[in-house]
Each structure stands twice: as structure tokens, then as C-alpha cells.
Amino acid sequence: MNEKIKKLKEIIDGTDNLVFFGGAGVSTESGIPDFRSTDGLYSQKYDFPPETIVSHTFFMKRNKDFFDFYKDKMMALDAKPNAAHYKLAEWEAQGKCRAVVTQNIDGLHQAAGSREVLELHGSVHRNYCTRCGEFYTLEDVMAADGVPRCSCGGIIKPDVVLYEEGLDQKTLQKAVMYIRQAEVLIIGGTSLTVYPAAGLIDYYQGNRLVLINKSVTPMDSRADLVISGKIGEVLGQV
């Protein structure tokens, strides 16, 4: 066990009030690619960049094209939790982890057993009719041919935060509360560049800030412990 993993283990062992803040990197180890990544095949299939397609305006104006992309790139039906998801659920069961704050929409934290999960960007598992508010599952959306529609005729919209849309204020306030009160804050699998979510870190008032990421982040200099690597591989050793 190297020194940094050893120090992380000591930090975890010594707390009953840690909060985890995670991004896309937590899910990539479960085989979910970042939907913003594009390659040669992408341009053959889609006429617009991902950020344009996953916007409120695009959803309203070109909903068939939106759902083609959404089903292809964002639903990740076969993905399973990885070591990071399971370790966080284990820490919650032990009374150590108070909450998981995530920018991911895949529901893998809940699938691993975590209960207090704050989904800043929503979830593919919740879908609502834009006209009457009726709830639909991920399977309902997947089974629909083309644009999913409610029995009332309205379009069913995934409960995910699109570009141009605001975050859910209740979720945001709860995340701020947990981060502000946390003794230990572990940030993993995020470059901390997506706002307003990344701005939540500024509410942390403790002195045990841990950063686990494959690349450098703007917060590295403020962290008490920086571990470079994949989040699942790192937490799997603790």
C-alpha cells in the first residue's frame, strides 16, 4: 500500500462525517463514456455537437433528434456499479459517508446501495410528461419508438438537467448543507470545470479535502491529499 493510499485510509478511519462529490470519471470505469466525447463515427451520425443536442432549445425544437442521441449516448442500460460505487455504499452503511453528491445521471450509486444520493443533474430513471406530469420509467422511454409520448399526448421528458436549464434548488441546497457540515470531503472523477456544480466545493469549511482524479484540477493546490488515478482503483484499495 503506497503512502497516499495509507493516508487516505487513515482519514477515512478517523471520521464519521465524510461527503463524496463525484463526476463523470466515476462512471467511466463502469463503461459509460462521457457523452461530450466525439470521434469520427460521431460526425457520420450526428450533425450537431453534443452540447447543442443536450440543450433545452434543441429538445423543444428537434425532439426526435434529441431522443435519437439520448437513447444512443446517455442511457447506458447495461452499465453496472464499480468499486468506487460499492465502497461509498459500504462507508454509508458503516455510518461514515453522510451523502454522495453526483453530477452523473445513471443511478449507479443507488444500484450499489447508497441511499443519500443528491443528483445535481437529475436521473435517466425519472421521466415526466411535459403536459400532465405523469411519471415514466427509463424502460418506458427506451421502449418508445421515436419520441416517447404520454397517454395524454404530451412528450415525455427525462428528468435530467439540460444546457440552458437551472439545477433543482432543493437538491442544490441540500448538497450545500452536507458539504458545509462535512469533516472530510472527497472529490473524485471530476475536472471541477462544470458550473454551477463545481462551485459547491467552495462551501467546504473542513481541513481534510481529498482529490482523486486522473488529471490535474483547479483545486489541487487547496487539497490536503491529491491522488492521481482512477477513482474505482483507488477506493478499491482502501
The cell for 124 is 435517466
121 counts as catalytic: yes
Q: Give CA–CA dist 108/16, Å, rounded.
A: 23
**DSSP structural state of residue 149:** B
Give the H or E element holding residue 233. Answer: helix 231-235
Closest CA relative to residue 208, chosen from 6, 3, 17: 17
Q: Which of 56, 85, 109, 121 is catalytic?
A: 121
**DSSP structural state of residue 150:** -
The cell for 89 is 455504499
210 neighbors 8 (Cβ within 8 angstroms): yes
- Catalytic center residues: 121
